[in-house]
Every structure is written in C-alpha cells, then in structure tokens.
Amino acid sequence: KETKLWGGRFEEGVTDAVERFSESISFDKGLYKQDIMGSRAHAAMLAHQGLMSDSDRDCILQGLDKIEKSIEAGEFVWRTDREDVHMNIEAALIDMIGEPAKRLHTARSRNDQVITDLRLWCRDAVENILGRIKYLQVALVALANKNEGLIVPGYTHLQRAQPVLLQHLLLSYVEQLERDAGRLVDCRDRLNFCPLGACALAGTGLPIDRFMTASALGFNAPMRNSIDAVSDRDFVLEFLSANSITAVHLSRLGEEWVLWASEEFGFLTPSDSVSTGSSIMPQKKNPDPMELVRGKSARVIGDLVTVLTLCKGLPQAYNRDLQEDKEPLFDSVKTVMGMLEVSAEFAQNVTFNRERIQKALPAGHLDATTLADYLVKKASWFFPAGIPFRTSHDIVGRSVALCVSKNCQLGDLTLDELRSINPVFEEDVYEFLGVENSVKKFCSYGSTGSKCVAEQLGFWIEKLGME
C-alpha cells in the first residue's frame, strides 16, 4: 500500500472497511473538471505571487492537461485508496511530473478545494437546468398554440368549476416554470463567490492573491470570511430547494395529465412513443413517463431533506459529514433534468381529444358563475344599482337546484322558469349561458377570456423567441 498524501504522522494505514466507508471517489470523480480548473488557477496564482517558479507552474499545467485528457478518454485509473477526486488527481500529478507537483497544494486545503469545485459544478448545473426549463416552456407554448379556442372544464377541489381555455391552463405551467428559473438564477448569483484560499479554515500566512483566483475562475469575488467559506453548504440547500419546487410543479403537471389520460376523463391521448404497456394486460397503454415525473419528485424532495438534516447539527468550519452533500446534489440535478426533458417530450407527443372534451363540457354547470355576474350587472326596478353578488349567488344557486331536479343545464331552463326564481331575468340571459358564451364574458387581466389569453400567448411566444 502507498503512503497517503497526509501519511507523515501515521504509523499504520486505515483498515479496508474504513477505506471503503470513507471514500468519495466513487461519486466525486464527477468533479474532476472543476477540480482541474481550480488547480490551474491556483498554480497560476502561486507562480504570480512568487510562491512557485514559472517552470514548475508550466509542468503542473501540462500535467493537468494530460490528466484531464486521460480522464476524458476513460484511461485514468481512479484509486479508492486515494480517497477522493482531489487526492487522486494530485497524487497522479506527482506520479507523472514529480517534484513540481508537490508545490501545488501550497496555501490550499481539500476543505476550500472541494467547496470551490462544488460551487463551479453548481454554476454549470444551474445553466443546464435553465436550458431544460426553457425547452419545456417552449413545448408547452407550442402545445397551447396548436389548441386555439379549445375550452376545457376548469376544476377546483377536482369538481367542475368554470370553463377555461386549454391555452390558459397550459400557460399557467409556463408561468410557474419561469419562477422556477428565476429561483435558480438567484441561487447562482448568490453562490458565485470564491472560497479558494480559505485553506483549512483560517486562511494562510503565505502571500496569496485570492482576488486573482476568484476572477480567473469567473467568480464575482473571493468570499470575505475564510471560516464561512469552508463551513456552509447553504448554496447547495438553495439549489436543492429550487429543484424541489420545480419538481413539485412538474409532479402536479404529471398528476393532471395522468388523470386526463384515464378512460374516465379521456381528455388527452399520449402517442405510443411516450407510453408503455403491461406485461400481463394486453390492452394497456399507460402514461408511465408522467407517472414517473410525479414519482421522481419524491427523490428530489428527499435530496433536499437529506442535506438539510446533514447540516443542522454541524459546528462551524469543515466536518467530514459534508462529504455526504454530493450524492443528493448530483441526484437532484440528474433527476430534475430528466423530469424536465421527459415532460417536454410528453408535451410534444400528446393530443387533446376535442370530441371527448366537447361532450364533457355541458355537465357541471360551468356557466353558473357567469350567470351570477350577469345578475350583478342587471339593474332592475328593485335593484337600480344591480343585484348584490350574495343575492345573485343565491338566485343562481336556486336555478342550479332546479336544473338538478330536472336533470338539465342552466341554458335549458325557459325564461318563465328562470323568472319563477326571480323576475329580474330577461331574454338576454341566454347570451351568458353555455360554456362558449361564458368564456367570452371573461375580460379581467390574466383571465381566461380569449383576448387575454391571446395576449399571454403572444407574450410567451416573443419571450421564448418562438416566432
């Protein structure tokens, strides 16, 4: 067995079980790019500050290039006895170029190294997720665009509520995704500060230039407090929180579409390319991808809870527990990326069944609230300023009760029947009944009225550059 890089004060090596238990190389090798990037910036800074010769720096930079290439070619041998990505790369560099490499860890600790790597990694990951969010937004807007004028029942409590344009409903998800993206951008702004040079926790007595490394790595500035720099994982928590909220949004979309794909609803049909069958029931065609979008939100939430729990009992500065932040972080990002991608593909491969939806619309008195608004505007001898909403609510409620007893729709009631409930009804009431008429009456900002929805759609088409 080789001596550890930290082996000087030890007389014997760790047991195999401890080695297996403590390693992180099996998952943190995913940070190799960021680790090498950080080492390049660090070596350049050390040479600039006279802490290393230019020729040692050049040897290190060449060696790091070779190591990066060999990792990317799949030729690099990751060793568990070298614990983690940082020591694997440093030890391999020493094997490769010898003495100069032993100067690389000057004024650096794995504590500031790992957190620098992680911040760089998160910065890229945020960018990737932002790209996928936009991809899904485009898919949803395109789907809305394809379904102009289609009215669907709007639900509250999963009971028929009011008629809405399908476009309106689809765009509601686009809005949510926009805020999801905003949270990620906020998170990236806050995480983009450089811990490198904080060393173990206290900084260093050597004349390093932390501003130089921070700027070389594209950070806004070095972190002000070296203890804070190696202690906190709040940016991981923020990222995992943002991902959890995105995942919950996607889970709700999944639930809605799974429901709508059921025989009972029958509002949408996914194409074969986004459906799967049953191993026993030959007739089955299941919307599995969206069920899994719903299901996988659980692990994204779990990842957040894992890291919250991980951090809550830690004293300040680095503790080895923090090694456990990586797997949940990687898992959350990978899972959300997949959820976004598959949701977009589902949106690209789904058809709304106009006929089924049309048939479903008359049930549930979706026009009742529009009727109540009609009465509010109706001036009469008894109510010169229109009927108070509570009163009109009651009048319509009694009209609905009449429909229920007669098993018909509001629009089927004769004017005499309506007038028997309240004489205020006039012939023009029929312009407010039926889902089509009802939708036409919506005019408030953000409402389901066709003009309002067309404006929303235009806004997104332009914002997403879809023209």
How far, in Å, CA of 372 to CA of 388, rounded? 10
β-strands 159-165, 268-270 pairing: unpaired
253 vs 329, beta carbon nearer ligand ARG: 329
Eight-state DSSP code of residue 88? H
- Residue 85 makes CB contacts below 8 A (sequence gap 6+) with 24, 25, 28, 29, 30, 31, 32, 35, 117
- Taking CB under 6 A as the rule, does residue 114 contact ligand ARG? yes
Subset of residues 310 to 349 that bind ligand ARG, contact rule: CB under 6 A: 320, 322-323
91 vs 165, beta carbon nearer ligand ARG: 91
Count other Cβ atoms within 10 Å, centred on residue 266: 15
294 vs 326, beta carbon nearer ligand ARG: 326
Q: In whole angstroms, how far apart are CA 400 and each of 364, 369, 406, 412?
A: 10, 11, 10, 11
The answer to whether residues 440 and 449 touch, using CB atoms and an 8 Å cutoff, is: yes
Minimum distance, C-beta of residue 115 to ligand ARG, in the bound complex (Å) = 8
Task: Read off φ and ψ for residue 409, nearest 5 degrees.
Answer: -95, 165
- Taking CB under 6 A as the rule, does residue 84 contact ligand ARG? yes
Q: In whole angstroms, how far apart are CA 96 and each of 55, 78, 93, 223, 244?
A: 15, 15, 5, 33, 43
172 is catalytic: no
- Taking CB under 6 A as the rule, does residue 157 contact ligand ARG? no
- Taking CB under 6 A as the rule, does residue 438 contact ligand ARG? no
Minimum distance, C-beta of residue 201 to ligand ARG, in the bound complex (Å) = 10
231 is catalytic: no
Q: Which stretch binds ligand ARG (CB under 6 A): 12-20, 106-114, 246-254, 301-309?
A: 106-114
Nearest residue to 103 via CA among 59, 38, 65: 59
Please pick, from the candidates 40, 42, 82, 110, the single residue that binds ligand ARG as defined by CB under 6 A: 110
The answer to whether residues 445 and 129 touch, using CB atoms and an 8 Å cutoff, is: no
Residue in 48, 244, 278, 392 annotated catalytic: 278
- Taking CB under 6 A as the rule, does residue 24 contact ligand ARG? yes
- Taking CB under 6 A as the rule, does residue 111 contact ligand ARG? yes
- Taking CB under 6 A as the rule, does residue 233 contact ligand ARG? no
How far, in Å, CA of 361 to CA of 161, rounded? 11
55 vs 316, beta carbon nearer ligand ARG: 316
Residue in 157, 279, 405, 444 annotated catalytic: 157
Minimum distance, C-beta of residue 161 to ligand ARG, in the bound complex (Å) = 51
Binding site for ligand ARG (CB under 6 A): 24, 28, 84, 110-111, 114, 320, 322-323
Which residues are known catalytic residues? Answer: 157, 278
